[in-house]
Amino acid sequence: MKWSDDRRQRFLEALDESGVVQYACDAAGMSRARMYQLRREDHDFAEEWDSAIERSVDRIEQRAINMAAHGWDEPVFGRVARDTDAQIGTVRKYDTGLMRFILQRRRPERYSEKLQIDNRVTKGDSEHVDLSRLDDEELAVWERLLDKAAVDEGTEPAQD
C-alpha cells in the first residue's frame, strides 16, 4: 500500500490511543515492517511516533494511579427471590499491589525494598538466624516484628 498523509495520521492516532504498534499498523492498513522502515527513514515521523507512545503511556499511568488510589466499584450479587439472583450492591476494591508498585517506582528512597548487607539477625550473643532461608510470608512476619521493635524503642520503623 502507498504511504500517504492520511495513513500517517491514522497510524499516529491509533498509536496514541492504544500504544500498540500492531493495532496502529492495522488502522493505517500498513505492515509492521513497512512502518518500522518509515520510522528509520523519517526522523519527524519517528519523533511523532515516540510522542504518541508517550501520551498513551501517560494515560495508562494515570489510570493505574486512579485504580490504586481511588479503586473501583465491583458488583455484589445475591439471592433476591427463591430462584433469582441479582446485583444487590457494590463493594469498593483497591489494587494495593499496584499502589505499592507505583510508590516503589516514584519514591524508591522511601518505598523500595531495602538491600540487606547481612542476611543474619543476631539472637542473643552468638546465635544467628539466616533470613535467606525464609520464604516471603516468614520474611513479612520478621519485618512486622522488627517494625514493632523499632517503634517500642522509639526509632523509625522500616518504610515499605
pLDDT tens readout for residues 118-148: 545 555 555 566 777 777 888 888 778 777 7
Query: Which pTM value belongs to this model?
Result: 0.56
DSSP assignments along 74-103, one per residue: EEEEEEEETTEEEEEEEEEE--HHHHHHHH
pLDDT digits (tens, 9 = 90+) for 51-102: 999 999 999 999 888 888 888 999 999 998 888 999 999 999 988 888 888 8
The DSSP code for 131 is: G
